[in-house]
Structure 1
Amino acid sequence: MRYFDYAATTPPFEEVITTIAEVMRRHYGNPSSMHRYGEDADKLLKRSREVCAMALGVRPAEIVFTSGATESNNLAIKGAAIQYQARGKHIVTVSTEHPSVYEACKQLRDQGFEVTYLPVDAEGHVSAKQVCDAVRKDTILVSIMHVNNETGRVQPMQDIGVALKKQFPRVLFHVDGVQGYGKLPVDIRGWQADLYSLSAHKLRGPKGAGLLFVREGVKLSPLLSGGSQEQGLRAGTENVPLLVGMSKAIRLADERQAETARRMIEWRDRVVAEVETIPQLRLNSGNEAPHIVHFSYPGMKAEVLLHTLEQLGVAVSTKSACSSKLAEPSRVLLAMGCSELEASGGIRISFGDEHTEQDIDELILALRQAVAKLESLERWKH
């Protein structure tokens, strides 16, 4: 079975697995404890923070460790909303955001905040002008995803961040960077982002570990009450083994980004070209994110095509992993103007750095065979 669902999760680097096991075995102290075991664990935690900060081009004190991007996004959005609600109760985001942003904003709306969900064009983009035009006197936060987890559309973060801060310097800018980091260049300072979320398991790190960059001077209201860990923003004993593993994965992803992107772009372009030759399929992604190709088979349920491909030895996905078990059409595709038939038949193929030319050959062959098989079944029914 060939795995093409790297946008959902990735197999950890062998070095990461080895490191996590070693830390679990040898450094099991609580980093808040004052004895030698605790001090050893605390040193590992500090070093992990330094490694992550160096890769992101920020200061170690600006890194808050979390359990993953969902927690990071919730802490950024809800933490900012609660902390700055005296300034205003208006938030701007995009209609195609990941559920951890979309639903967090929806929950705040139910609690009396106002949320503007910006529409996207047919390609899934928003512009800096759209963002700035939506800002009001009572706007406290703008939250936008760098790379869409479903279609791979890339938002113009530099344009948005610079324009936003030039016109509205007091409005906080949050970037969900989960699908972009390690695939595309990231410039948190250049984007003038105040908050930036990452998840380890999208980078061949462990599940259950993530981080939130919080720019110096920005205050957040913590979601979890308890101890003073993570500068008081995230109570609870830090998961040292996973955080050490995450720091290693982030470092490796950063070092290999350019070469990984170059290889994945070749594979993406091959698959995109193939999809465009199959009349039954409609391409929904473009040549933007190196690792994602998304298309629809209008009139065919996505699950049917997914399982047909699986029978042929290829694992892909429908929608995002967080929403794939929901029966309704893709919210992201509907927002891009796709019909319900198109939005119900979406398939996402996502690549990783382990793939080879042979893997891509097998993927293309399986795709051709799957569509031919389903097309013949449809003709037989009629």
Structure 2
Amino acid sequence: MDELKALGWSDWFFEGFAGGTGDAGTVARVTAELRGEYRLRGAGGEFTAQLAPRLRKGAADRLDRPMVGDWVLVEPGTSSAEVTIHDILPRRTLLARRGAGGGGEVQPIAANVDLVFIVMGLDGNYNARRLERFLVAARESGAEPMVILSKSDLCADTAARVVEAEALSHGVRVVPVNSLDGDGVAVVREALAPGVTACFVGSSGVGKSTLVNLLAGADVMATGAVRERDAKGRHTTTHRQMLFLPCGAIVIDTPGMREFGLWQAGEGLDASFPEIAQLAQQCRFHDCSHAHEPGCAVRDALAAGEVDPGRYASYLKLRKEDEEGAVRDEVAIRQERKGKKRRIAMDLRVVLRTKGKK
């Protein structure tokens, strides 16, 4: 299993892998997904694979199929070009978001990530409310978040931005980075121990790919310019892919995200808004929405100036978004169950008709 440890394998995965008695040759990690074909790396090196029909046809949603960072079980075919993925090992962490639009389908970002680097540019991209949203998702994923404030050379008062971000992050480390002279890059590199998997998230043009290149010591990712009028960049990363750094760590660079809908905020919401979560324990009703109920300790603190109005509004928005998403998921589950029952009934009628003709 030594070759797998360099890919991020740990005792956690070993214990869930066939009771620790499986063959290492049947395990690999997903490093990229391109048009339905998966690029994997295992003890024997890198190769491509296709999904088994059970995974391809039986998936209820995108989470039922492999994603970058997953550990999968593979079955070799008659040739090296016929490797099949036939199962996905349990995920230790999962970072995902909801897509834009009324459907709000879940869109996986990466699995089995140890660190989530939330990158925001100080050239006009920084936004407190967006930072809170990323922090909720990162915490809920099970990974450890770190905030990177890139392009610190373009900010008139970087120190003030760092203080503000630290106040919003509640214990999460905030690192200002200037990719031009390398300031702050060493601090990021220190967090990347051998076998650690990190994922970069943020808007287009914030410097994710530039930072990855600095960490790799080579131009492994394409980079692009940013529009001066609105600090918006173009997508230079077109798909999620795993890169292996000289220090032994693993990074996953992702395409820029203009929108980041919450998926299952859960404990991540309370962890990101601890002042509100603590006050909520004193509300008269245990299911208080903190919007209109009498005896709401959160609203009382807000009226007394003890809760920041911007934080309060952000909390309510994210909580409502999470609740609405949960309702949509429940409806989708019911529809999927009905669809399966309908298909089973149709298949049964076909079988009965066939038997009747014999």
TM class, shorter-length:
under 0.3
Query: TM-score normalized by structure 2?
Result: 0.26
Which structure ranks higher in relative contact order (CA pairs < 8 Å, sequence separation ≥ 6)? Answer: 1
Structure with higher Rg: it is 2
